[in-house]
């Protein structure tokens, strides 16, 4: 069975909204908007997360001078139970809606689906919106932040942020979406929910090896191999795994969870995570830099750890997934 | 923006596994398999739900004499937090995996996506697997069954069951998938989680009216208009809403939540619900009857109530969705 899906779509526009910590990090100047206190004017963290989705989607539409009616379908998801960040955040758009769940890989899953729909002329334009919020995630997965639980060195910091992408058919976008490899569910027995990087790294290796083997390409063919979000721990494991698979040199690798925070100053331990991590780094930093010609060929591999708090308590290890996309710039801007 | 997606795919094979109560209901004889105590050999309800997915998927593959390697991608989802019923249930298949979430509409969402992928030659064959388990859902959404909470007359009974579908391209399947209308998120202000039928009925009306208006067809053009799972309460409301929209006569309407249980004898109140309800009724009863020529043209509209226990406690009303598919038999069997 073939692994690579050939696509012919492009990014029309994109936007994002992030929290205070993200706005103070290394990519702070690139984000479209942030709120002063992560509440986004709402009285619960869950409602704040939905509001971020609404804002990010509206920012993206405004940049492309588009309206709700221009969008054929929206693919959206988040980390909250029953994906309520998305179902409430995108209420009122009146756009056909596909709920998706891939944990922190959700943005890549959505971009694959939206690219298939636009490449194959199902719709001219589709949207992808994903989000995570540190405070809603902490109390759902671990403990409310007021508890002040100690974090282990390998733990990651859930990003407060939402990214939105409007994807168009063959006629749209300077940054083209040319190939995808959907991830497989991989579980190598890691059962520490405070070390998601270790759980997810084997999923990235599985997807990357399938891509390189089938395409005949090698890591050095790309300006950037961007994972999201292995963090420091998972990235280090990925390099070991790829080396064992015959790819010792992936020096052009970076990771959204590493890029988004300053490890020394921001107390974020192994790096960022969450459905909002890869989505905000991609929309705020990577795609604009591709439009400027800084990167021309990028592999984007968003990763997800698909356990639940209950599944961990029941003794299960952590099933993970990594979806790959190949972006390239085919026009000078 | 157009509403109807034209498709050209078909059902190659399908299978299901259900619980004891479902096996004792009106459709009991049609299900492929059931367990003697709803535990499916596992020590938690969540693991039992995953095992049902594994079994249903294997039953479907066996009927079509197919192997994991024959399937290009799998679209799967369930009601459990972080959709762990699917991520654990389908571990080990090594099939590219798209996690989806549409509450009880998940089966229809998956069939739309799998049909797009096969109609448009992304893959020759794709799978859809969804599930729900009464005991895992009750303790997650309401209270553990041991508590013995009283149920209101409008409440529905979460089906213990999983359905799996293998969908193929233009060359496959007697029952063809010809059209789809993805649902929009609709919230008319119903905030009683014990009356999901009332919350979901407006979503069905929205999707059906869009379909009839754009296609120029009318309810009597179909042998069966099958919703899943409005139950008795939601079905009654749907008839009123459709009447107000100018469709007073949808007598060929039935509902998966009504079909699956005997209301008088099984104490199921307003009918069945859950990601397993529409999936098992479709795979066990409707599709086999289409293959036999009992129904030739069927509209299948699976419905989802996309709240979470937290969103209800935070005072939100219930956003709902309804995805439509048009199935027709184009060969005599």
The verdict on B326 touching A (C-beta cutoff 8 Å) is no
Instruction: Please give the share of chain A, as a percent, with pLDDT higher than 70.
Output: 99
Instruction: Please give the share of chain B, as a percent, with pLDDT higher than 70.
Output: 99
Is B88 in contact with A316 (Cβ distance < 8 A)?
yes
Asked if the model's pLDDT at residue A333 lies above 60, the reply is no
The verdict on A182 touching B (C-beta cutoff 8 Å) is yes
Distance from CA of A146 to the nearest CA of B (A): 18
Which of B105, B135, B50 lies closest to A319 in space, CA to CA? B50
The distance of Cα A34 from the centroid of its chain, to the nearest Å, equals 18
Q: What's the rounded mean pLDDT across residues A113-141?
A: 97
- Which is more confident, A80 or B170? A80
pTM of the prediction?
Answer: 0.98
Q: What's the rounded mean pLDDT across residues A187-206?
A: 97
The domain locations on chain B are 5-168, 175-329
Backbone angles phi, psi at A74, to 5 degrees: -125, 135
Is A306 in contact with B84 (Cβ distance < 8 A)?
yes
* DSSP-assigned letter for residue A81: G
What residues contact residue B151 under an 8 Å CB cut-off, 6+ apart? B194, B269
What separation, in Å, do the N-terminal and C-terminal C-alpha atoms of chain B show?
Answer: 38
pLDDT for residue B211: 98
Q: Which of A116, A181, A308 sits opposite B80 (nearest CB)?
A: A308
Instruction: Summarize pLDDT for B293-316 with one digit per residue, the tens.
Output: 999 999 999 999 999 999 999 999
- Angle in degrees, CA B82, B257, A100, rounded to 5: 25
Asked if the model's pLDDT at residue B148 lies above 60, the reply is yes
Q: From its phi and psi, is residue A16 left (phi > 0), alpha (psi between -120 and 50) or beta?
A: beta
What confidence tier does B331 reach under pLDDT thresholds 50, 70, 90? low
Instruction: Summarize pLDDT for B123-132 with one digit per residue, the tens.
Output: 999 999 999 9
Q: Which run of H or E residues covers position B168? A: strand B161-168
The verdict on B170 touching A (C-beta cutoff 8 Å) is no
Is A101 in contact with B97 (Cβ distance < 8 A)?
no
Asked if the model's pLDDT at residue A332 lies above 70, the reply is no
What confidence tier does A65 reach under pLDDT thresholds 50, 70, 90? very high
Nearest-angstrom CA–CA distance, A10 and A15:
15
Cβ proximity of B18 and B38 under 8 Å: no
A interface mutation test: which of B7, B82, B182 has the most A CBs within 10 A? B82
Query: Is domain B5-168 in CATH 2.60.40.1150, yes or no?
Result: no
pLDDT for residue B333: 41
Q: What's the rounded mean pLDDT across residues A185-207?
A: 97
**What is the DSSP code string of B1-62?**
---PEEEEEEEEEEEEEE-HHHHTSTTGGGSS-B-SSSSTT-SSHHHHHHHHHHHHHHHHHH
Instruction: Summarize pLDDT for A214-226 with one digit per residue, the tens.
Output: 999 999 999 999 9
pLDDT for residue A331: 52
Which of B299, B263, B272, B238 lies closest to B108 in space, CA to CA? B299
Asked if the model's pLDDT at residue B332 lies above 60, the reply is no
Q: Are strands B320-329 and A73-78 parallel, antiparallel or unpaired?
A: unpaired
What are the residues facing A158 on neighbouring strands? A273
B interface mutation test: which of A75, A77, A96 has the most B CBs within 10 A? A96
CB contacts under 8 A, A 19-48 vs B, are: 44, 46-47
Nearest-angstrom CA–CA distance, A170 and A330:
12
Nearest-angstrom CA–CA distance, B248 and A127:
36
Instruction: Summarize pLDDT for B4-43 with one digit per residue, the tens.
Output: 999 999 999 999 999 999 999 999 999 999 999 999 999 9
Pick one of 3.30.1540.20, 3.40.47.40, 1.10.20.10, 3.30.1360.180 as the CATH number of A175-329. 3.40.47.40
Backbone angles phi, psi at B157, to 5 degrees: -105, 115
Is B316 in contact with A81 (Cβ distance < 8 A)?
no
- Unique residue bearing structure tokens 């064959």: B125
The distance of Cα A327 from the centroid of its chain, to the nearest Å, equals 14
Sign, CA dihedral B36-B41-B44-B46, equals negative
Q: Are strands A125-132 and A161-168 parallel, antiparallel or unpaired?
A: antiparallel
Question: B1 contacts in A (CB within 8 Å)?
Answer: 69-72, 123
Asked if the model's pLDDT at residue A21 lies above 50, the reply is yes
Instruction: Summarize pLDDT for B223-255 with one digit per residue, the tens.
Output: 999 999 999 999 999 999 999 999 998 989 999
Tokens coding B208: 């059906």
Cβ proximity of B285 and B254 under 8 Å: no
Q: Which run of H or E residues covers position A198? A: helix A196-215
* DSSP-assigned letter for residue A50: H
Asked if the model's pLDDT at residue B84 lies above 80, the reply is yes
What confidence tier does A103 reach under pLDDT thresholds 50, 70, 90? very high
Tokens coding B65: 């004499």
- Unique residue bearing structure tokens 């980390």: A79
Nearest-angstrom CA–CA distance, B305 and B45:
22
Question: B112 contacts in A (CB within 8 Å)?
Answer: 98
Q: What's the rounded mean pLDDT across residues A160-186?
A: 95
What are the residues facing A181 on neighbouring strands? A324
Q: What's the rounded mean pLDDT across residues B268-274?
A: 97
CB contacts under 8 A, A 134-153 vs B, are: none
ipTM: 0.98
């Amino acid at each position: 069975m073939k692994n690579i899906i050939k696509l012919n779509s492009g990014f029309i526009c994109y936007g994002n909204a992030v929290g205070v910590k993200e706005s103070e990090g290394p990519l702070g100047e690139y984000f479209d908007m942030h709120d002063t206190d992560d509440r986004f004017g709402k009285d619960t963290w869950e409602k704040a997360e939905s509001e971020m989705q609404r804002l990010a989607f509206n920012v993206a539409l405004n940049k492309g001078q588009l309206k709700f009616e221009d969008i054929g379908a929206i693919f959206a998801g988040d980390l909250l139970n029953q994906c309520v960040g998305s179902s409430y955040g995108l209420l009122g758009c009146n756009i056909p809606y596909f709920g998706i769940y891939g944990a922190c890989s959700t943005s890549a899953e959505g971009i694959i689906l939206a690219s298939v729909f636009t490449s194959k002329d199902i719709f001219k334009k589709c949207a992808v919106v994903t989000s995570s919020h540190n405070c809603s995630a902490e109390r759902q997965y671990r403990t409310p932040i007021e508890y002040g639980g100690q974090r282990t060195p390998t733990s990651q910091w859930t990003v407060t942020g939402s990214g939105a992408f409007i994807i168009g058919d063959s006629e749209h976008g300077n940054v083209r979406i040319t190939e995808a490899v959907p991830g497989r569910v991989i579980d190598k027995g890691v059962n520490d929910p405070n070390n998601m990087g270790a759980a997810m790294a084997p999923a990235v290796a599985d997807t990357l090896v399938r891509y390189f083997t089938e395409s005949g390409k090698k890591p050095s063919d790309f300006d950037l191999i961007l994972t999201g979000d292995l963090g420091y721990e998972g990235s280090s494991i990925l390099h070991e795994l790829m080396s064992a698979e015959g790819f010792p040199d992936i020096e052009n690798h970076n990771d959204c969870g590493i890029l988004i925070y300053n490890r020394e100053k921001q107390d974020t331990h192994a790096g960022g995570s969450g459905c909002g991590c890869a989505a905000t780094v991609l929309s705020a930093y990577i795609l604009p830099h591709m439009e400027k010609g800084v990167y021309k060929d990028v592999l984007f591999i968003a990763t997800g750890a698909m356990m639940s708090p209950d599944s961990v308590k029941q003794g299960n290890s952590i099933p993970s997934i990594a979806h790959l996309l190949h972006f390239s710039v085919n026009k000078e801007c």
